[in-house]
């Protein structure tokens, strides 16, 4: 696991400066503290900060082909590298290392840009073809590893993290108003956009080729939900699901450094630990986070699973003073990021790194097998689409009475469902997943800011919905989440949290073969009435206790609403109503005031919006103001609690 960076100069432009590459690498030394490698060839340069996980002795990068004409830097792991090495040697290639990066250089010699289709793993890599003066950038199929870039007059600058990219003084720093709008809609900024107008993210399963001053991106893979297995008895799927999980877990246990697992006590992480225990002769090291609020704490469940498999178990309880690290988290994310579970994720990674260098996790189970309530709710809404329009509109008119005020839980979800009945399925889903829906954002923005917006965030969901390959609405939602929420929120969260502590995270449930197999399972076996992840639960019976499999989903949620109404109320209010905050010109002061009042009065519907506004302002102070203004929050938060 590493951080990569690089530049290609504009045709006829100034050659790459080694000092800039050094600065870009230094800004992400946390991603790879074990070694730094640089390659500069006139108008092209590559840089790498390496965390040594496999091939500790000969694997430092950049890596070259036999004749030195191809140069590669890799962030991530290629899980099928041993098979690829054997195949390449059989074709006469000479390999000088024992690691995985070298196979990319030789695959490129064999297959050119299509080399990426032969890789099974999590990766973002940069390859420089010295003969063709061609740059190839590629990102893995699911989007486990990030890559930012800026096109600069026929040249390019790129890096694993936005903060590193900004070490190149040519990279523009103008905030994109549309990105702010998308952030408030979803809590993250979906690829290919970034918070800055001139900076892009390479989307998952995409390549970028820069040659002769011209850049072209292309998609090389996508999940296919259109081809379904014909199942006469669901029990036929039990062993194939188990085998896919075991295979995906075993290949992610290949490491020359200590390895463990994150364990929440939920189905997905427990399944991964169960698979690890079957594959390891030694006790699995497990790491769990709890909270000082009982409704959010899962430590007892995690403890039980760890005991069942004889794990070497470690725990940490997170309290409200954990927010004191928020400015540090904001710096690492580089962009505004409003998933509050980033806080415990950060602490969990820090705890695990004291014991291991690699940690497996259960990410992806919900998006692969149908684990969210929104899948059930929107499947129900789709069945109600057969009702006449006037009946659906009548139900929507009653929705504000259901979902208004301080109500939350089932009543609020029913209100949200009813309010979306007159909408198209894509519009309904966009509204369901939004933190701040379009109507509320319109009331929040100042007219001058509103006038700068074009192409609302809803097109992110609508575009993915149109491209979806599945016919069943559940499959469509799974595919949309795999394209948006999964890489934009969940994967980003764990990558930044772990890499900030030089810890590599691996996700067996995001294995490309496992995900494609799950996509071929009929949707009604994933979401069965009100039952979520039904077929995965059935496959895991006998591996895990029934009460673990059948207990309600708790999720990695954070008591942020209670914190905002309690210990953190004064801090957040002072920040959001500060004259400097309001002077940025985004929001109507009165609208912000009303939102704060409603949240303080108990409205859970305003908790995520308030948190998003707070994170957005901290991002401005950390990344744009440059005066460390938000650092004062660290000491104040500790005093407040």
Task: Let me know whether 492 and 415 are in one domain.
Answer: no
Mean pLDDT across 136-164: 97
Q: Give 414's pLDDT tier (boundaries 50, 70, 90).
A: low
Domain boundary among 404, 439, 469: 469
Task: Let me know whether 303 and 399 are in one domain.
Answer: no
Domain boundary among 156, 189, 219: 219
Task: Let me know whether 390 and 444 are in one domain.
Answer: yes
The yes-or-no answer on residue 178 being catalytic is no
User: What range defines the domain where residue 619 resides?
Assistant: 560-640
- 40 in helix, strand or coil? strand
pLDDT tens by residue, 366-383 = 999 999 999 998 888 887
Q: Give 408's pLDDT tier (boundaries 50, 70, 90).
A: very low
pLDDT tens by residue, 471-523 = 999 999 999 999 999 999 999 999 999 999 999 999 999 999 999 999 999 99
Question: Burial letters for 394-415: b for 16+ Cβ neighbours within 10 Å, e otherwise?
Answer: ebbeebeebbeeebeeeebbeb
Do the beta carbons of residue 78 and residue 121 sit within 8 Å?
yes
Q: What is the mean pLDDT of the chain?
A: 91
Q: Which residue has the higher pLDDT, 298 or 373?
A: 373
Q: Which residue has the tokens 């390895």?
A: 259
Q: How many domains does the chain have?
A: 4
Does any domain span residue 600? yes
579 CB-near residues (< 8 Å, 6+ apart): none
DSSP-assigned states of every residue in 544-565: B-HHHHHSPP--S---HHHHHH
Supply the Cα-derived Rg of the chain in whole angstroms.
24
Among 2, 25, 115, 311, which one carries the catalytic annotation? 2
Q: Which domain CATH number covers 146?
A: 3.60.20.10
Q: Give 405's pLDDT tier (boundaries 50, 70, 90).
A: very low
Q: Which of 50, 9, 331, 35 is nearest to 168 (CA)?
A: 9
CA 333 → CA 97, 339, 496, distances in Å?
33, 11, 6
Task: Let me know whether 307 and 383 are in one domain.
Answer: no
Do the beta carbons of residue 249 and residue 362 sit within 8 Å?
no
Mean pLDDT across 262-287: 95
Q: Which residue has the tokens 């917006």?
A: 453
Task: Let me know whether 92 and 196 are in one domain.
Answer: yes
- 6 in helix, strand or coil? strand
Dihedral (CA of 482, 488, 493, 494) sign: positive
Task: Let me know whether 377 and 362 are in one domain.
Answer: no
Least confident of 10-19, 441-450, 488-497: 10-19
pTM: 0.93
Residue 410 has pLDDT above 90, yes or no: no
Task: Let me know whether 192 and 101 are in one domain.
Answer: yes
Q: Which of 586, 590, 508, 622 is nearest to 246 (CA)?
A: 508
The helix (H) or strand (E) run that includes residue 215 is: strand 214-219
**With left for phi above 0 and alpha for psi between -120 and 50, is residue 101 left, alpha or beta?**
alpha
Does any domain span residue 229? no
Domain boundary among 508, 525, 550: 550
Q: Give 208's pLDDT tier (boundaries 50, 70, 90).
A: very high
Does any domain span residue 305? yes
| Alpha-carbon span 13 to 25, nearest angstrom | 22
Does any domain span residue 477? no
Task: Let me know whether 153 and 184 are in one domain.
Answer: yes
Does any domain span residue 326? no
pLDDT tens by residue, 105-130 = 999 999 999 999 999 999 999 999 99
Does any domain span residue 378? yes
Task: Let me know whether 352 and 278 are in one domain.
Answer: yes
Q: Which domain CATH number covers 361?
A: 3.40.50.620
């Amino acid at each position: 696991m590493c951080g990569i960076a690089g530049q290609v100069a504009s045709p006829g432009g100034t050659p790459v400066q080694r000092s800039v590459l050094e600065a870009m690498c230094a800004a992400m030394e946390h991603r790879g503290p074990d070694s730094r490698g640089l390659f500069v060839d006139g108008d092209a340069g590559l840089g790498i900060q390496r965390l040594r996980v496999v091939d500790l002795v000969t694997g430092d990068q950049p890596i070259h082909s036999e004749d030195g004409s191809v140069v590669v830097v890799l962030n991530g792991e290629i899980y099928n590298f041993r098979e690829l090495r054997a195949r390449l040697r059989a074709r006469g290639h000479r390999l000088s290392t024992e690691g995985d990066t070298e196979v990319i250089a030789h695959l490129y010699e064999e297959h050119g840009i299509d080399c990426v289709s032969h890789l099974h793993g999590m990766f973002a890599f940069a390859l420089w073809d010295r003969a063709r003066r061609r740059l190839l950038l590629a990102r893995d199929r699911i989007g486990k590893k990030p890559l930012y870039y800026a096109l600069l007059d026929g040249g390019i600058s790129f890096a694993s993290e936005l903060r590193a990219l900004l070490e190149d003084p040519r990279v523009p720093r103008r905030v994109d108003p549309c990105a702010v709008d998308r952030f408030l809609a979803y809590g993250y900024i979906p690829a290919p956009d970034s918070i800055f107008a001139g900076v892009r993210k390479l989307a998952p399963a995409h390549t970028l080729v820069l040659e002769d001053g011209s850049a072209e991106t292309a998609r090389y893979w996508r999940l296919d939900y259109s081809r379904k297995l014909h199942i006469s008895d669901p029990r036929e799927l039990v062993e194939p699901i188990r085998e896919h999980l075991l295979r995906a877990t075993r290949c992610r246990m290949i490491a020359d450094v200590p390895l463990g697992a994150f364990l929440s006590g939920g189905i997905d992480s427990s399944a991964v630990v169960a698979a690890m225990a079957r594959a390891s002769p030694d006790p699995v090291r497990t790491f769990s986070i709890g909270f000082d609020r009982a409704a959010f704490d899962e430590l007892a469940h995690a403890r039980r699973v760890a005991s069942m498999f004889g794990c070497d178990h470690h725990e940490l309880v997170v309290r409200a003073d954990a927010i004191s690290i928020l400015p540090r988290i904001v710096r690492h994310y580089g962009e505004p990021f409003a998933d509050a579970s980033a806080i415990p994720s950060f602490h969990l990674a820090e705890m695990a790194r004291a014991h291991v260098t690699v940690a497996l996790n259960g990410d992806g189970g919900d998006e692969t097998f149908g684990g969210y309530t929104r899948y059930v709710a929107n499947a129900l809404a789709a069945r109600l689409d057969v009702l006449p329009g006037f009946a659906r509109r009548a139900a929507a008119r009653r929705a504000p009475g259901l979902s208004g005020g301080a109500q939350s839980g089932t009543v609020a979800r029913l209100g949200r469902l009813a309010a979306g009945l007159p909408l198209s399925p894509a519009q309904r889903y966009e509204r369901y997943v939004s933190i701040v829906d379009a109507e509320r954002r319109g009331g929040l923005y100042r007219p001058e800011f509103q006038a700068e917006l074009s192409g609302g965030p809803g097109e992110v969901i609508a575009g993915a919905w149109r491209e979806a390959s599945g016919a069943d609405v559940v499959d469509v939602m799974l595919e949309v989440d795999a394209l948006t929420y999964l890489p934009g929120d969940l994967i980003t969260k764990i990558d930044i949290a772990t890499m900030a502590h030089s810890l590599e995270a691996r996700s067996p449930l995001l294995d490309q073969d496992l995900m494609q197999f799950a996509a071929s399972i009929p949707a009604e076996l994933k979401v069965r009435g009100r039952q979520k992840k039904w077929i995965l639960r059935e496959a895991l019976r006998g591996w895990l206790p029934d009460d673990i499999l059948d207990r309600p989903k708790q999720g990695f949620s954070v008591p942020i609403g209670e914190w905002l109404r309690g210990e953190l109320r004064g801090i957040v209010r002072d920040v959001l109503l500060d004259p400097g905050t309001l002077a940025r010109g985004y929001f109507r002061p009165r609208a912000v005031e009303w939102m704060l009042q409603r949240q303080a009065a108990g409205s859970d519907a305003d908790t995520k919006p308030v948190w998003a506004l707070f994170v957005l302002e901290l991002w401005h102070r950390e990344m744009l103001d440059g005066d460390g203004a938000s650092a004062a929050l660290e000491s104040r938060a500790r005093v407040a609690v």
